Amino acid sequence: MNQLILGDNLEIMRKMESESIDLIYLDPPFFSNRNYEVIWGDKGEVRSFEDRWSGGIDHYIAWLKERVSEMHRLLKPTGSIFLHCDWHANAEIKVYILNKIFGEHNFRGDIIWQRTNAHNDAKRKLAVLTDTIWYYTKTDNFTYYPIYSDHNEISSKFYSYNDNDGMGFYQLTDISSPNPRPNMMYDWLGFPFPQKGWRFQKETMQKLHDEGKIYYPKKHDGSFDFSKRPRLIRYLNEQKGLLLGNIWIDINNVQSQSNERIGYPTQKPEKLLERIILASSNEGDIVFDPFVGGGTTIVVADKLKRNWLGIDQSVQAIKVSEMRLNNQQNLFSADFTVLLHKYDYEKLFNQDPFEFEKWIIERFGGNPHGKKGGDKGTDGKMRDGTPIQVKQSENIGVNVIKNFSVSARQYDKTLFEKNQKQNLPVGYIIAFSFGKGAVQEVARLKNEDNIIIKLVQVDEIVPLAKKPKLSIEIKQLSKDTKGLTEIEFTAIATSDAGIEFFSWDFEYSEEEKKFKASIMLDKEGNQSHKFKPGIHNIAVKAVDNEGLEAIEVVKVKVNGVVEAV
Ligand X SMILES: C[S@@+](CC[C@H](N)C(=O)[O-])C[C@H]1O[C@@H](n2cnc3c(N)ncnc32)[C@H](O)[C@@H]1O
Which residues of the shown chain bind ligand X in the complex (CB under 6 A)? Answer: 8-9, 27, 29, 39-40, 45, 48, 266-268, 291, 293-294, 296, 311-314, 317
Quote the CA–CA distance of 4 and 338 in Å, as a whole number. Answer: 5
- What are the φ and ψ backbone dihedral angles of 343, each rounded to 5 degrees? -105, 150
The β-bridge relationship of strands 534-544 and 549-559 is antiparallel
The CB-of-547 to ligand X minimum distance in angstroms stands at 13
The CB-of-389 to ligand X minimum distance in angstroms stands at 39
Residue with smallest beta-carbon separation from ligand X:
293
The CB-of-2 to ligand X minimum distance in angstroms stands at 18
Quote the CA–CA distance of 128 and 115 in Å, as a whole number. Answer: 10
The CB-of-255 to ligand X minimum distance in angstroms stands at 14
Cβ proximity to ligand X: between 268 and 342 the closer is: 268
* Cβ contact 24:71 at 8 Å: yes
Angle, helices 296-303/315-328, rounded to nearest 10 degrees = 20
> CA 288, 292, 294 angle in degrees (round to 5)?
140
The CB-of-24 to ligand X minimum distance in angstroms stands at 12
The CB-of-64 to ligand X minimum distance in angstroms stands at 10
The CB-of-28 to ligand X minimum distance in angstroms stands at 6
Query: What is the rounded (10 degree) CA torsion for 239, 241, 295, 19?
Result: 90
- What are the φ and ψ backbone dihedral angles of 367, each rounded to 5 degrees? -115, 120
Cβ proximity to ligand X: between 311 and 453 the closer is: 311
Cβ proximity to ligand X: between 290 and 427 the closer is: 290
Following DSSP, what letter does each residue of 390-405 receive, concatenated? Answer: E--SSSB-HHHHHHHH
Cβ proximity to ligand X: between 14 and 363 the closer is: 14
Cβ proximity to ligand X: between 312 and 549 the closer is: 312
Cβ proximity to ligand X: between 9 and 419 the closer is: 9
Cβ proximity to ligand X: between 21 and 458 the closer is: 21
The CB-of-42 to ligand X minimum distance in angstroms stands at 8
Following DSSP, what letter does each residue of 490-542 receive, concatenated? Answer: EEEEE-TT-EEEEEEETT--TTT-----SEEEESS-EEEEEE-SEEEEEEEEE
Kindly give the residue spans of alpha helices, DSSP state H, lying in 105-218. Answer: 151-158, 202-210
Cβ proximity to ligand X: between 90 and 296 the closer is: 296
The total number of residues shown for the chain amounts to 565
Cβ proximity to ligand X: between 65 and 181 the closer is: 65
The CB-of-9 to ligand X minimum distance in angstroms stands at 4
Beta strands in 115-184 (DSSP E): 130-137, 161-162, 169-174
- What are the φ and ψ backbone dihedral angles of 247, each rounded to 5 degrees? -105, 115
